[in-house]
Each structure stands twice: as C-alpha cells, then as structure tokens.
Amino acid sequence: MFRTAVARPRLATPQFALLGLAALAYFFADGLLVPAVPLYVTGPLAGGDVGVGIAVGAFSLSALVLRPWAGWLADRRGRSVAMIGGGLVFAASVACYSLADSLVLLVVLRLLTGIGEAFFFVGAVTAMSDLAPAERRGEAISLFSLSLYAGLAVGPPIGEAVVAAIGFATVWAISSGAAALAVVLALKVGDTREPGPAESGVRLLHPAAVVPALLLLALVWGMAGFLAFVPLYALDLGLPGAGFLMFVFAAIVILIRSVGARIPDRLGAERSVRLALSCAVAGLTIIGGWRAVPGLALGTVVLGVGVALGTPAIMMLALQDVPAAERGAVMGTVSMSIDLALGLGPATFGLVAAGLDRGTGFLAAALVAGSGLALATRGLPRARPAAALGR
C-alpha cells in the first residue's frame, strides 16, 4: 500500500521573490551608511566619539518610537503603503546628508532616516508573514532574513571603499538610489493583506506580542554585547583579532537560515524558542567562563546556533493565532525589541566590563538570556506542530 504524499503550500512565488529583492535593496542602502556616518562625523564634521554615538543612536531612537505606528499603518492602510512611505523618507533624508554641515543637522536627518527604517521594515516583515503559509512561516522568516544579512555584509565594505575613493556625496547618492529601488520593487509587490475586517481603533502595542518581544529582547541583548566586545575580548585572550570569529558566527547564522530554514517549522515555535535561548545561554556562559581561545571559539559557535534559530522562531510564536488584520501591530511591537537590545546590550556589557572585566560581561549577558529562557520555559504553552497553526 502506497502513502500519498501531501503537497506543501508554495512559498517561492514571484511576489515573495520581489519582496525579498526589495528588502535586499533597502538593507544594502542601510549597510552603506554603517561605516560612512561615523567617518563623516569624525571627518568633515570634526566630531568625536560622543558625536558618533549620538548620530548613530538617533537612527535607532526614532525607529524604536515609530515602529508601533508603522504596524498600525500597515494594518489599516496596507503593507505596501508602509514600505513605500518608509523607503521614500529613508531615500530623501539620506540624499540630504550632503547638506549637513553640522552635527545637529545630521542628527535631525538621522532621526528622519530612522522613521523610514521603522515603516519600511515593519511593512516588509508583515508582508512576508502574509505571503507565507502558516506551516512554512519559520522557513519564510529565515529566508527573508538573509536579505538583511546580505545587505549588511556587502554594504559596509562598499561604503567604506567609496568614501575612500570618491567621497561621501557618492555614498549618500548610492544609498538613496538603492532605497528608491526598494520603493519601486515594493510598488510591484503590491498589497498583501488578506481579506477581512480591519482592526478598529488604535492599538499600538499588541498584547499577543509582549511575551515574544521580551524573548527577542533577551536573545538580541546578548548578541549585541557579543558583537560589540568580542573584538576586544579576542585581544585579551591573545588573538590578533576577531575577524575569523565574526566570520564563523555570520556563516553559522546564514547556513542555518538557508539550508536549515525549515528547522523552526519542524520543531514548532515553542520548542525552537527554548532551544535557541538555551544555546544563547550556553554560548555566552562558555565564552565568559572558559576564558581561553577554545572557549571563545566554542561559545561563538553555540551562540551562533541560538541566534540563527531564535529570531524566526520568536516571530513565528508572535504570529501564531493572530488575525491577519493585526499582524502589523504584532510585528511593530516585537521589532521594538531589536532597537532596545542593540542599545542596552552593549551599554550594560560595557558597564559590567568597566567595573569587573569583559569575561564577566559575557556572563552578565548570559543571565539576561537565561531570564528569557525561564520565561519561555514557564510562560509558553506546550509545543504544537506547525501544521496546526494554519487557519
């Protein structure tokens, strides 16, 4: 007797591919600015480290505040409206960087760029959740995130090279043009909302997203501290640098989110979240506790596995059982954790390292990840198969 194979719902549609290309163009535009903005502050604007911190941080500040509003707009007016509006604000603000002859003006423009980030990102990730079948949502999130990693991998070295060879004005023009291309592609993606009644009223922080947001905060907190301080910690341990470790970390994330993109769907959101946070706790503990090169290498690998699995699984968790008309509010709430963690993670790590040492900083980050694991262990329902999440 032969068993009939059940066809899996299609994920790789032209609309999904266009969305991925739009995200790639946007994150490439964003990546170009990573080295260029600090160099611009310390170069033409003659600023110092404090000025760099303010200019870079202004972007995350406005993005953090506006993400819930971006989710509301995506639910009420459409995902493409949020993407197009955000991309246009991003492109216009970056094009004006050349006019910034003072740190104050650049900070104002960076605040506007952060507004564009909030609306484009939330619109794009919500559109992705619309296009993904429920039983393949983890795979979709994993694949979608590759556009972010690719853009942020390619953008910075190109931005740095263009500044050195041609100048800042060219970097601003290329970044603005890439964001404009993302807007054109978003227009072709169109609206992805499913038919149904729109949510009434204004609900900026979605209750279903609160626990997933805390879990994502705990995960990214440790990752942000790791990325900020592992170059210095590697020197402490006698290594010439942390370039190879950073490459290994990124390679693990990319490998799992491409070849292993289906893992969160097969394990289920809850089980994947617990596994991811367990790996984050273990990786950070190994780095901080085994203060030698082998410990740093092993901890980096384990932490990379946790980060690779964690974000897709947490977003799956946030989206399950949520009506289509409220997905934007959920993504707006959850993604706030990224901005918070990228700011608080390195700051708290630095305070602990200054008071004690860098190894203890990793152990403190492990405690934060451990609080997330405790919440995931006690505050989540028992795992369900991903197929049961469909509507």
* Average pLDDT estimate for 118-144: 85
Shared-domain flag, residues 217 and 334: yes
Please enumerate, as own/partner, the contacts of 97-100 that have beta carbons within 8 Å and a separation of 24 or more. 97/40, 97/168, 97/172, 98/168, 98/169, 98/172, 100/40, 100/45
Shared-domain flag, residues 70 and 211: no
* Average pLDDT estimate for 127-150: 82
Closest to 322 (Cα-Cα) out of 200, 190, 192, 207: 207
In a domain, 197, yes or no: no
Count of domains for the chain = 2
Is residue 233 within 8 A of residue 288, CB to CB? The reply is no
The answer to whether residue 5 scores a pLDDT higher than 70 is no
Shared-domain flag, residues 235 and 173: no
* End position of a domain, from candidates 160, 189, 218: 189
Tokens of 187: 């227009």
Shared-domain flag, residues 116 and 213: no
Q: How many CB atoms lie within 10 A of CB 316?
A: 28
* End position of a domain, from candidates 156, 189, 222: 189
In a domain, 391, yes or no: no
In a domain, 194, yes or no: no
Shared-domain flag, residues 42 and 185: yes
Q: Tell me: the pLDDT tens digits for 129-139? A: 888 777 787 78
DSSP 10: P
* End position of a domain, from candidates 142, 158, 189: 189
In a domain, 196, yes or no: no
Give the 3-state secondary structure of residue 99.
Answer: helix
Q: What's the chain's Rg over C-alpha atoms?
A: 21
Shared-domain flag, residues 73 and 169: yes
Q: Tell me: the pLDDT tens digits for 207-255? A: 878 899 999 999 999 888 887 788 788 888 998 877 788 788 888 888 8
Shared-domain flag, residues 160 and 215: no
In a domain, 100, yes or no: yes
* Confidence class for position 4, pLDDT limits 50, 70, 90: very low
In a domain, 1, yes or no: no
In a domain, 216, yes or no: yes
Shared-domain flag, residues 224 and 100: no
DSSP strands (E only) in 221-328: none
Shared-domain flag, residues 75 and 44: yes
Q: Tell me: the pLDDT tens digits for 36-88? A: 888 888 888 888 767 777 887 788 888 888 998 888 888 888 889 999 999 99
The pLDDT of residue 141 is 82
Q: How many CB atoms lie within 10 A of CB 193?
A: 21
The answer to whether residue 333 scores a pLDDT higher than 90 is no
Cβ neighbours of residue 205 closer than 8 Å, sequence gap 6 or more: 68, 329, 333
Q: What CATH number is given to the structural domain containing 58?
A: 1.20.1250.20
Shared-domain flag, residues 158 and 222: no
Is residue 279 within 8 A of residue 305, CB to CB? The reply is yes
Closest to 372 (Cα-Cα) out of 142, 205, 211, 206: 211
Shared-domain flag, residues 216 and 177: no
How high does pLDDT run on average in the chain? 85
Distance, CA of 178 to CA of 170 (rounded, Å):
12
Shared-domain flag, residues 233 and 369: yes
In a domain, 99, yes or no: yes
Please name the helix (run of DSSP H) or strand (run of DSSP E) that holds residue 371, with its range, or none.
helix 358-379
Range of the domain at 284: 207-386
Cα dist from 271 to 261, 310, 330, whole Å: 15, 10, 20
